[in-house]
Amino acid sequence: MTARAFATTLDPEDPKIRRAARRLAAHLDDDSEVGRVVRSMLTDVAGGERIVVLRAEDEVTPAQAAEMLGVTRQFVDRLCGDGVLPFRRLPGSRHRRIRVQDVIELATERERRRAGHEALRAVMEDTGLLDEG
Sign of CA dihedral 35, 7, 1, 112: negative
- Residue 64 confidence (pLDDT): 94
Report pLDDT for 7: 45
The DSSP element (H or E) to which 64 belongs, if any, is: helix 62-69
Whole-model pTM: value is 0.66
What pLDDT does residue 43 have?
92
Residues 6 or more apart whose CB falls under 8 angstroms from that of 28 comprise 35, 38, 39, 42
pLDDT at position 133 is 53
CA 93 to chain centre: 27
What's the CATH fold of domain 59-126? Answer: Multidrug-efflux Transporter Regulator; Chain: A; Domain 2 (1.10.1660)
> Could you tell me where in the chain the CATH 1.10.1660 domains are found?
59-126
* pLDDT recorded at residue 10: 75
Residue 90: per-residue pLDDT: 96
pLDDT value at position 78? 97
The list of the chain residues with pLDDT below 50 reads: 1-7
What angle, rounded to 10 degrees, do the helices at 33-46 and 15-26 form?
150
- Cα-Cα-Cα-Cα dihedral of 80, 84, 86, 92, to 10°? 20
What pLDDT score was predicted for residue 84? 96
Q: Side chain identity at 53, as an amino acid letter?
A: V
